[in-house]
Structure 1
């Protein structure tokens, strides 16, 4: 019996920011495709709820509380992952956050915080996990944003960080290892984070619908197909790409 190139049976996956929203959707998709998953987030209450939410997948689900902007936390995570998994097949760098504001209104501390969460964490976790991924080849999926490829008025630090995610993805992909490194660029996805944006700017909802050819906001599960593809053998000759998953929002330039 032939095995589907999308089958992730016996694969080990780690998802940062995996306690809720997009990260939890990625984790569910990987688990349903057969992978065992480790969820990483700062708040243990979210991790416990996420583990319970994935109990119906039949996959092994582990959790680890860490601040992935801290080098010591990332090293502890790598040690724990090595103890539990021995090796790693799939890394999803999903941890991120954003605050809306005009460029002149951001403090230096806010700038640094957004760069650390959205970009530095990708470097730190990838660096710590690289030895495990390189044992037999692996997959790194970095979660950027549509703001990786065009600017928006109220998200200067976030856009700068997510643009950096794409360039870091290309740099890692060019290394001579059997590790495919790619980025997914979500568009307007309906999450707690974007809900706060709509509360701050009530006109945002209609503006998004007006520009999105798909005619709706995305849901976290809309990203799962791209995630499973980039995590599986189906993408073994795909590396260094940045794939928009935005309902066509970025197609209008």
Structure 2
């Protein structure tokens, strides 16, 4: 059996209440058959955590064979540090690389703005609505998901909802635009064929839809291992 750990980090405030939707959407997707039928005890959810509690949670990921971290909240790109800063709470931020520790096979999904911190942040707006319709075979889903992980070499994947200098859009109804579309892409793979949608495939599909929706105002970016196969995101159970 493959040991899995997922960490969902959400840092909402009055300006981005849709983060709460993102947190629940990711949790529900992971636990669905399409998302790999994760067990509830494999998923940890943190809301506006302290730096210490976040670091402890990230360290716990190292005990797994495969781990995934999702962050939803405010962010900005620091030219001085050449990295994306993620806000846990007002006045408290971390650098994105702190989320890159984890299991030998590890994925990071960041749905946050990457506007330059020395420039005004544009207002975030609109996203498409989505609904969940879980597939029916969680046992088969876990088997397919685990078997695919076993075939993957150790590595790191990082998926950003937007490019450096851009804002990430959201609504209170659907959460982050990138996250809602990414999950919808995974949910739509329910043909029962036993095929796996990899993280890079899901990111590519979501990127095309986000670019179309925003008329190229928001362009997601991804970094993936050169080794194949890539980590799984969704399965046709």
TM range (shorter): 0.3 to 0.5
Larger RCO, structure (CA 8 Å, separation 6 or more)? 2
Structure with more of its chain in strand, by fraction: 2
TM-score by length of 1: 0.42
The answer to which structure has the higher helix fraction is 1
The two structures have a TM-score, normalised by structure 2, of 0.45
